[in-house]
C-alpha cells in the first residue's frame, strides 16, 4: 500500500500580484517639475505685467504726440505746437523718471536730460534734434521742422521702450493733455 505522497504545495493558492500603482500621489519628480513650471509661469507673468506697465505711458505719450498737428505753416502755431510738445515731454518725464531728477530742469539742463536719455540716437544727434524745444518757443521767428522733430521724438519714446525703467522711479498714471484715457 503504497500511497503516493501528497504534494505539500497542492493546498496553496496561486500567486497573486499586488494591484497596479495608481496615478495619485505622483512621484517626487513630478512634484518638482510642477513646482518648477508654476514658478516659471508666475515669474513670466510678473515680468509681462511689469513690461506692460513700463510701456503703457510710452504708448499713451506716442498717441498724444501723433494727435498733435505737426504740419502747420503759421509760425505762431508752430510756437504753440512746440509748447505742446515740450509740455508732453515734461509730463511724461515727470511720471516715467524719478521726479526729483526731472522737476527742477529747465533750459540747457532740460536739453541735457533729454539727450542723456535718448537711447535710440547718439547724444550729439539728440542735441541737434531737440535743441528747438528750448530755443524756438522763445525765438522771434520759429522755423522748426515739426515733422522731423516729431519723428525724432517718436524715436526717443521708442528707445525708452527697450530700456529698463529707472530703479527709484515712482510709477504714476500718465494723463494725456486732452483728458482722454483709453
Does 26 reside within a domain? no
Tens digit of pLDDT for each residue in 83-125?
899 899 999 998 888 877 788 888 889 899 898 888 888 888 9
Tens digit of pLDDT for each residue in 115-170?
888 888 888 898 899 998 888 777 777 778 888 999 999 999 999 888 776 665 54
Give pairs for 161-168: CB < 8 Å, separation 24+.
Answer: 161/54, 161/55, 161/58, 162/119, 163/119, 165/54, 165/96, 166/96, 166/97, 166/98, 166/101, 168/98
Output the pLDDT for position 118: 87
Domain count, the chain: 1
Does 140 reside within a domain? yes
Does 17 reside within a domain? no
Output the pLDDT for position 117: 87
What domain range includes position 135? 46-161
Instruction: Say how far apart CA 96 and CA 77 lie, in whole Å.
Output: 28
Does 51 reside within a domain? yes
Output the pLDDT for position 163: 76
Does 3 reside within a domain? no
Amino acid at each position: 500500500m503504497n500511497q503516493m505522497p501528497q504534494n505539500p504545495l497542492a493546498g496553496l493558492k496561486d500567486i497573486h500580484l499586488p494591484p497596479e500603482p495608481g496615478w495619485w500621489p505622483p512621484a517626487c519628480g513630478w512634484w518638482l517639475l510642477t513646482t518648477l513650471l508654476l514658478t516659471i509661469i508666475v515669474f513670466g507673468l510678473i515680468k509681462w505685467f511689469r513690461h506692460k506697465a513700463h510701456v503703457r505711458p510710452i504708448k499713451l505719450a506716442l498717441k498724444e504726440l501723433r494727435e498733435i498737428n505737426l504740419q502747420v505753416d503759421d509760425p505762431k502755431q508752430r510756437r504753440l505746437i512746440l509748447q505742446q510738445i515740450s509740455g508732453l515731454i515734461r509730463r511724461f518725464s515727470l511720471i516715467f523718471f524719478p521726479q526729483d531728477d526731472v522737476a527742477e530742469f529747465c533750459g540747457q539742463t532740460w536739453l541735457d536730460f533729454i539727450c542723456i536719455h535718448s537711447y535710440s540716437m547718439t547724444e550729439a544727434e539728440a542735441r541737434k534734434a531737440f535743441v528747438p524745444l528750448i530755443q524756438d518757443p522763445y525765438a522771434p521767428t520759429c522755423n522748426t521742422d515739426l515733422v522731423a522733430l516729431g519723428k525724432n521724438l517718436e524715436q526717443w519714446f521708442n528707445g525708452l521702450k527697450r530700456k529698463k525703467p529707472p530703479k527709484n522711479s515712482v510709477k504714476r498714471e500718465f494723463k494725456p493733455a486732452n483728458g482722454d484715457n483709453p
